[in-house]
Amino acid sequence: MYDNNEEHEKPFNDAIDHFQKVEGGPSAGMGGRLPLPIRIIGYCILAAIVLLVIGGVIGNF
């Protein structure tokens, strides 16, 4: 849609611009995925919770 990215990166309004500059709100360039070790730890915790729930359901019968 846009030929250049400048129009797309402009803040929505002055309040958003203030929040991004002064208060440290996220901008379009920041953010993204978590580092790999943190993602792996999160996947392990999620898998453990799922296995415990499945084990609890099966063990209850």
Q: Which two tokens stand for residue 30?
A: 């920041």
Q: Are 17 and 11 in contact (CB under 8 A)?
A: yes
Question: What was the pLDDT predicted at 58?
Answer: 94
Question: What was the pLDDT predicted at 26?
Answer: 59
User: Could you tell me if residue 52 is left (phi over 0), alpha (psi between -120 and 50 degrees) or otherwise beta?
Assistant: alpha
Do residues 61 and 36 share a domain? yes
User: 54 lies in which domain range?
Assistant: 32-61
Question: What was the pLDDT predicted at 21?
Answer: 80
Does this model's pTM top 0.75? My answer is: no
Count of domains forming the chain: 2
Do residues 39 and 58 share a domain? yes
Give tens-digit pLDDT for 14-49: 887 787 788 765 556 556 788 999 999 999 999 999
Do residues 24 and 45 share a domain? no
Do residues 11 and 36 share a domain? no
